[in-house]
């Protein structure tokens, strides 16, 4: 019996040792990645992008000098031309300063004329009779001439500054525009750099729309094509206004993952588009025209080169959510990203951030950039 118990103890001990030696399976870590689905150019023609109108130029005008307002001929809604006076402070003190500076320079010019006369006279005497005047006296008169010239140059600068301050009492429109706000009343004492009036240039209208990360790659094509966008404002739904792309944003919003796209259009003749009006922009390029645009552009952060000769992207299998490295051929570097000539097709998912931390066949979770993708 004792022998049986000993055998059973050894048997159980061996089982425990063997079980401890078995490897514990390591659970694979699923990495979250930022990714986009490469879009088809045709998708751009089926979307509308909301935005608001803004002036191409807008500025708060202010004086460079202080004083009481004596002229304020404009009001909100007034149209002004470039160079028109929109406000003026009392110029009398500045006129006095200018006259004083001019008087000082006239006095200095008289001193210079006297010094020149004395110097020239002493030089003539020296030539006739070398011992009649000393060289030291001639040198002192020459120094007086040079000193007077330097003082005049300084006073001329003072006259220019006084004249500028007098000119600054006139506040002029820097461009054709519309007064959209006034901040003071006539006869009010104003300070230098205090806002006086707000002026907007409405000869052209800008509109900022937000383009999804998946579609921004086609913005370069549309920018080159010219006026290929149509804008409809809510206040004038029957009017279509042709627009072109002025600027493509370089950085996506951290919350919405959209890029700002600035459109610009001419002010229509029969209606008046004002800053703040809401509207929608859409492409007016035919679907077949977009289909002919074969370039695929992806964010620069999506490509990586582990060696000097080859460039790759991580393609994500949309069903099993695993990444695989794929070689691509790159083209030009554009405002919206880098052009891909070979290796990627519309509809495929690619990782756009953290590409240096992924490995072949790794399970990933896509961080969606829109509500639609989250639902997906």
At residue 352, the pLDDT reads 86
| CA distance readout (Å), 66 to 9, 172, 201, 212, 224 | 103, 16, 26, 49, 48
At residue 43, the pLDDT reads 67
Using alpha carbons only, give the angle 134, 138, 144 rounded to the nearest 5 degrees.
145
Please name the fold of domain 64-90+169-198. Answer: OB fold (Dihydrolipoamide Acetyltransferase, E2P) (2.40.50)
CA count, 13 A, side-chain hemisphere, 161: 9
Same fold, 31-39+295-375 and 64-90+169-198: no
Query: DSSP class of residue 305?
Result: -
Spatial contact of 150 and 169, defined as CB atoms under 8 Å apart: no
The residue extents of the domains of the chain are: 31-39+295-375, 42-56+201-291, 64-90+169-198, 92-167
Question: How many whole angstroms separate alpha carbon 362 and alpha carbon 29?
Answer: 9
Question: How many whole angstroms separate alpha carbon 157 and alpha carbon 151?
Answer: 10
Task: Cite the beta strand spans of 229-310 per DSSP E.
Answer: 229-233, 236-248, 258-266, 278-283, 296-298
Four-residue CA torsion sign, 337, 338, 342, 344:
negative
Looking at the whole model, is its pTM more than 0.85? no
Tell me if residue 142 falls in helix, strand or coil: helix
At residue 48, the pLDDT reads 87
pLDDT string in tens for the chain (376-residue length): 555 556 566 555 655 554 555 555 555 678 888 888 887 666 666 788 999 999 888 999 999 999 999 999 999 989 999 999 999 999 999 999 999 999 999 999 999 999 899 888 888 888 888 888 888 888 888 899 899 899 999 999 999 999 999 999 999 999 999 999 999 999 999 999 999 999 999 889 999 999 887 677 677 767 777 777 899 999 999 999 999 989 888 777 777 778 899 999 999 988 888 888 999 998 876 655 555 555 677 888 889 988 778 899 999 988 888 899 999 988 888 766 788 888 888 888 889 888 888 888 888 888 754 433 433 3
At residue 300, the pLDDT reads 84
Q: How many other CB atoms are found less than 10 A from the CB of residue 318? A: 13
Query: DSSP class of residue 372?
Result: H
Q: CATH assignment of 92-167? A: 1.10.287
Query: 338 - beta bridge partners?
Result: 298, 333
At residue 290, the pLDDT reads 53
Question: How many whole angstroms separate alpha carbon 29 and alpha carbon 31?
Answer: 6
Backbone angles phi, psi at 233, to 5 degrees: -95, 145
Distance of alpha carbon 111 from its chain centroid, rounded?
55
| CA distance readout (Å), 272 to 50, 236, 279 | 19, 10, 14
The domain at 42-56+201-291 falls in which architecture? Beta Barrel (2.40)
Contacts of 54 (CB under 8 A, 6+ apart): 205, 206, 207, 208, 275, 276
In which element (H, E) is residue 370 found?
none
The domain at 31-39+295-375 falls in which architecture? Beta Barrel (2.40)
Q: Which residue has the tokens 């490295």?
A: 325
């Amino acid at each position: 019996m004792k022998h049986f118990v000993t055998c059973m103890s050894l048997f159980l001990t061996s089982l425990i040792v063997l079980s401890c030696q078995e490897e514990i399976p390591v659970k694979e870590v699923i990495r979250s990645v930022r990714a986009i689905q490469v879009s088809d150019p045709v998708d751009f023609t089926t979307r509308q992008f909301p935005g608001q109108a803004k002036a191409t130029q807008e500025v708060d005008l202010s004086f460079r000098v202080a004083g009481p307002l004596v002229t304020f001929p404009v009001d909100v809604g007034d149209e002004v031309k470039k160079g028109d006076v929109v406000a003026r402070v009392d110029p009398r003190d500045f006129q006095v300063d200018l006259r004083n500076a001019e008087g000082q320079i006239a006095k200095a010019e008289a001193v210079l004329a006297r010094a020149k006369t004395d110097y020239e006279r002493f030089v003539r005497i020296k030539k006739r009779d070398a011992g009649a005047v000393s060289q030291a006296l001639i040198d002192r008169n020459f120094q007086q001439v040079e000193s007077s010239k330097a003082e005049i140059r300084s006073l001329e600068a003072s006259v220019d500054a006084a004249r500028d301050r007098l000119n600054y009492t006139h506040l002029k429109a820097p461009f054709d525009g519309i007064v959209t706000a006034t901040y003071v009343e006539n006869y009010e004492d104003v300070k230098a750099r205090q806002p006086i009036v707000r002026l907007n240039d409405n000869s052209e209208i800008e509109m900022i729309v937000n383009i999804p990360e998946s579609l921004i790659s086609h913005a370069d094509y549309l920018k080159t094509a010219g006026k290929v966008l149509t804008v409809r404002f809510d206040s004038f739904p029957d009017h279509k206004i042709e627009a072109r792309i002025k600027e493509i944003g370089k950085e996506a919003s951290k919350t919405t993952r959209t890029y700002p796209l600035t459109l610009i259009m001419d002010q229509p003749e029969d209606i008046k588009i004002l800053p703040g009006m809401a509207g929608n922009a859409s492409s007016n390029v035919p679907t077949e025209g977009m289909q002919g645009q074969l370039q695929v552009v992806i964010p620069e952060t999506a490509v990586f080169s582990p060696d000097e000769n080859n460039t790759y992207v991580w393609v994500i299998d949309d069903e099993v959510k695993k990444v695989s490295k794929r070689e691509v051929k790159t083209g030009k570097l554009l405002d919206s990203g880098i052009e891909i000539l070979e290796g990627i097709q519309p509809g495929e998912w690619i990782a756009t951030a953290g590409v240096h931390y992924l490995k072949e066949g790794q399970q990933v979770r896509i961080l969606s950039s829109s509500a639609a993708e989250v639902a997906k």
